[in-house]
Chains A and B, each alone.
Chain A
Amino acid sequence: MANAIIPNKHPMPAQDAAVRAKNFNEVALGYDEETVVAEANRCLQCKKEPCRQGCPVEVDIPAFIKLAAERDFAGAIKKLKEKNALPAVCGRVCPQENQCEKYCTLGKKNEPVGIGRIERFCADWELATGVLPQEIAPPTGKKIAVVGSGPSGLTCAADLAKLGHKVTIFEALHVAGGVLMYGIPEFRLPKAVVQAEVQSLKKLGVDIQVNAVVGKFATVDELMEEGGFDAAFLGTGAGLPYFMNIPGENACGVYSANEFLTRTNLMKAYLFPEHDTPIRVGKRVAVLGGGNVAMDAARTALRLGAEESWIVYRRSKNELPARHEEAEHAEEEGVKFAFLTSPTRIIYDDDYWVTGMECLRYELGEPDASGRRSPVPVKGSEYIMDIDTVVVAIGQGPNPLVPRTTKGLECNKKGNIIANLETGATSKPGVYAGGDVVTGAATVILAMGAGRTAAKSIHGYLSGK
């Protein structure tokens, strides 16, 4: 262990903001071996392990960090993978400041240990040197259908496969990964990294059927009654885009963030015409919303060649739901912010192309039920924003396809599947659910935690059956 406390995290090398704003390469470059060992040595190896309470998938953090400090990266990744099927993803996209690193003892007076960065290094080390075999329990003869291959489905599938169950994942798109593939941009989470993690799942014996839309080619009931599946996990996410419902929203040049990001990330429209999917980005782009998706869209717009990329958010900087780091990265790259501003209508020309957006300025009023000060429009403050592309990033709801076609599956008013958060059990015996389809749009790691919880319950359910 280190003798003296090093107060700050070892800095993470990153691409220069001016350069990276023009390319899709990963922004954060990762630690090298010397730095990761030095950072791992900052860990105090506390007996109480407070960091672990902040991890939704309960990774044995001090143990893997100790192994990394000893340069036993094979041991470290093995320890990580006992609990986390997607460490290369989590090390990159988890909001560690609100999770493991929030509880780090060092963090009380200094900067916490860079747990995410160490996790990322170990995962990348494994992907570079070759994925290690994992222990798999003897076959149980039970079959489980996992619907959706996003973070919750992948985690649930990995856990169940390790317990000896036969797992088939059904994915609607042509590749597995869900939001990791179509939503989170290449410059934050390289798609090759996601696919490498998906490949390591296949080594556990998980069968992944892509191009399989459950609710269309077969319903959940049909999978269980005719397909011979003993249980099902629904991890279909929150993929239904919300629009503002303001005039002009169907004009040409208005995208949902889902469409904008799917074209760019999944279909690689940034490589058009080498890749066939086109995208059209004008000179001045307005992204509506203040979450991580909005930041991703605004940063993507710059990389697609926009001269100006604006975040238009109806509250102030303090209320931004996006991670602080994401907003900061966006700002460094040149994204501009119009706070306390909300559009009232989108203006278009004779050919139906967007030419501007009428906005209203807001001021903050009394705190609302959520404790945030609610925005109140300022009368007579209308002005026209001169823009030619709009990306609507105000949130997503659950895709209704599976809930609508599954008999006896209870949902709430918003269309989310009702599931016990402790067990993942739904109103339908043998059917479990977790992730965004239950909670509404949240984080990758929370979805993974829900996948893990459901896997435990499914294992219990099948063992007792």
Chain B
Amino acid sequence: MYKILRKAVLAPTLCLFDIEAPLVARKAKPGQFVILRVQEEGERIPLTIADFDREKGTITCVFQEVGKTTMELAKLSEGDSIKDFVGPLGEPSHIEMFGKVVCVGGGVGVAPVHPIARALKEAGNDVTGIIGARTGELLFWEDKMRVACTELRVTTDDGSYVRQGFVTDVLKEVIEEKGDIALCVAIGPLPMMRAVCNMTKEYNIKTVVSLNSIMVDGTGMCGCCRVTVGGQTKFACVDGPEFDGHEVDFAEMARRSVIYKTQEQLAVGRYNNEIEHKCSCGCGGGK
């Protein structure tokens, strides 16, 4: 069992946990992920490592409530435990001195981009961070990103905080202002990463994305997470999750990411019914 040492609600439906997992924390590197299972009947889901503390032996995970498992996870409190927690999985980010780099985090993608930005800055890079959310209420870790980056720019789709615009709008400004950018790292929803790649391709800026394919084991034994990169099939869990964004077949990714949409909706509906039932008659959802 893996204990939740700290819980913070960052925004509506956006939750942070510090989870006690010393063996994972000992080896975790930016860019890697974990697979967790909430309870005995649970499914295995991947979450990117947002931070780690080797001394305390903790891994920080930030997740959005998008379905049954993440909703159930968000119901847990400090002191509760998660059944299974395995990692660090995947290849770490490639960190070296590139020069000028841009780190783009969209929505919940701000969390996984954070340790990468920090490592890039520690490696001597001039890191421009760009973070964005649909609305100001959903924006988080502005303070942490400000420390992790050399410079940080913030935007919201609806203009409710700082300014109005997509992260790509800000990225365009940064590229034109700064010139000769050596690397762009973009993590966020699929359409956002795709839009970033379309833009950086025009400017011929190498762009790394972190792919959130559907996974089961996360150790390379099933191929559920397979993606086409540069015309070749890769397993995101062992070959990635980071890939050259200009080589990724995003259309295929998008189709594969909704394979279980019907089942996911069914699971959420059933879960909500259970909770409602629990509240109204106190039978514990058992009947």
Which residues in A have some Cβ–Cβ distance to B below 8 Å?
Answer: 172-174, 210-213, 216-218, 239-241, 243, 245, 249-250, 252, 255-256, 258-259, 262-263, 267-268, 271-278, 280, 351-352, 399-401
Report the minimal beta-carbon distance from A254 to chain B, rounded to whole angstroms: 9
| Nearest chain B CB to A411 CB, angstrom units | 16
In B212-229, the 8 Å CB interface with A consists of 216-217, 219-224, 226-228
- A-B pairs under 8 A by CB, number: 113
- State in angstroms the CA–CA spacing of A285 and B128 once bound together: 50
The reply to whether B222 and A249 contact each other, CB–CB distance below 8 Å, is no
User: Which residue from B69, B233, B266 sits with its C-beta under 8 Å from A250?
Assistant: B233
Top 5 A-B pairs, shortest CB-CB distance: A278-B263, A259-B222, A352-B255, A276-B43, A239-B221
Q: Chain B's nearest CB lies how many Å from the CB of A267?
A: 6
In the complex, chain B residues whose CB is within 8 Å of the CB of A210:
84
**C-alpha gap A100/B27 in the complex (Å):** 47
Q: A262 is contacted by which of B216, B227, B259, B264 (Cβ under 8 Å)?
A: B216
Inter-chain CA distance A216–B227, complex, in Å, is: 22
B238 in contact (CB, < 8 A): yes
Contact assessment for A173 and B87 in the assembled complex, using a CB-CB cutoff below 8 Å: no
CB-based contact A259/B86 at 8 Å:
no
Specify the chain A residue showing the minimal Cβ separation from B86.
Answer: A211
Known: A249-B233, A276-B42, A276-B68. A399 touches B221 (CB 8 A): yes
Q: Does B56 contact A (CB under 8 A)?
A: no
Q: Which residues of A contact B219 (CB under 8 A)?
A: 172-173, 213, 239, 399, 401
Q: Which residues of A contact B43 (CB under 8 A)?
A: 267, 275-278
A174-B37 in contact (CB<8A): yes
Give the size of the chain B interface in residues (CB under 8 angstroms): 41
Contact between chains at B44 and A259 (CB < 8 Å): no
Complex CA gap A255/B223 in Å reads 8
B84 and A174 contacting across the interface, CB-CB below 8 Å: yes
B88 and A258 within 8 A (CB):
no
- Among A217, A275, A351, which residue has its beta carbon within 8 angstroms of that of B41? A275
Q: Given the interface contacts A276-B68, A280-B260, does A262 sit within 8 Å of B255 by beta carbon?
A: no
> Could you say which of A173, A252, A276 contacts B267, with CB atoms under 8 Å apart?
A276
CB of B85 within 8 Å of the partner chain: yes
Partner of A218, one of B27, B85, B226: B27
Residue pair B255, A351 in contact (C-beta under 8 Å): yes
A252 touches B216 (CB 8 A): no
Given the known inter-chain contacts A272-B263, A274-B41, please indicate yes or no for A172 contacting B217, CB distance below 8 A.
yes
Measured CA separation A280–B261 after assembly (Å)? 11
For residue B78, CB closer than 8 A to chain A, the reply is: no
Q: Which of A172, A249, A263 contacts B216 (CB 8 A)?
A: A263
Given A216-B89, A276-B41: A252 touches B221 (CB 8 Å cut-off): no
B87 proximity list for chain A (CB < 8 A): 213, 216-217
Residue numbers in A under 8 Å from B62 (CB-CB): none
The answer for the CA separation of A351 and B216 in the assembled complex, in Å, is 23
Q: Is B74 an interface residue (CB 8 A)?
A: no
What are 30 A-B contacts defined by CB distance under 8 Å?
A172-B86, A172-B219, A173-B217, A174-B37, A174-B44, A213-B86, A213-B87, A213-B89, A216-B89, A217-B26, A217-B88, A218-B23, A240-B221, A241-B223, A250-B233, A255-B224, A256-B222, A259-B223, A272-B263, A273-B263, A276-B42, A276-B43, A278-B43, A280-B259, A280-B263, A351-B255, A399-B221, A400-B220, A401-B219, A401-B238
Complex Cα–Cα for A172 and B216 (A): 12
Which of B85, B88, B223, B259 has the most A CB atoms < 10 Å from its CB? B223
Residue of B nearest to A237 (CB): B221
Nearest Cβ distance between residue A260 and chain B, in whole angstroms?
A: 9
Identify B221's interface contact among A216, A255, A258, A272, CB under 8 A.
A258
* B217/A256 in contact, CB under 8 A: no
Which one of A211, A216, A271, A280 contacts B85 once the chains associate, using CB atoms below 8 Å? A211
Chain A residue at smallest Cβ distance from B271: A273
Once the chains are docked, how many angstroms separate the CA of A271 from the CA of B40? 13
CB A20 to nearest CB in B, in angstroms, measures 24
**Nearest B-chain residue to A217, judged by Cβ:** B23
- Separation in Å of the B71 CB from the closest CB of chain A? 11
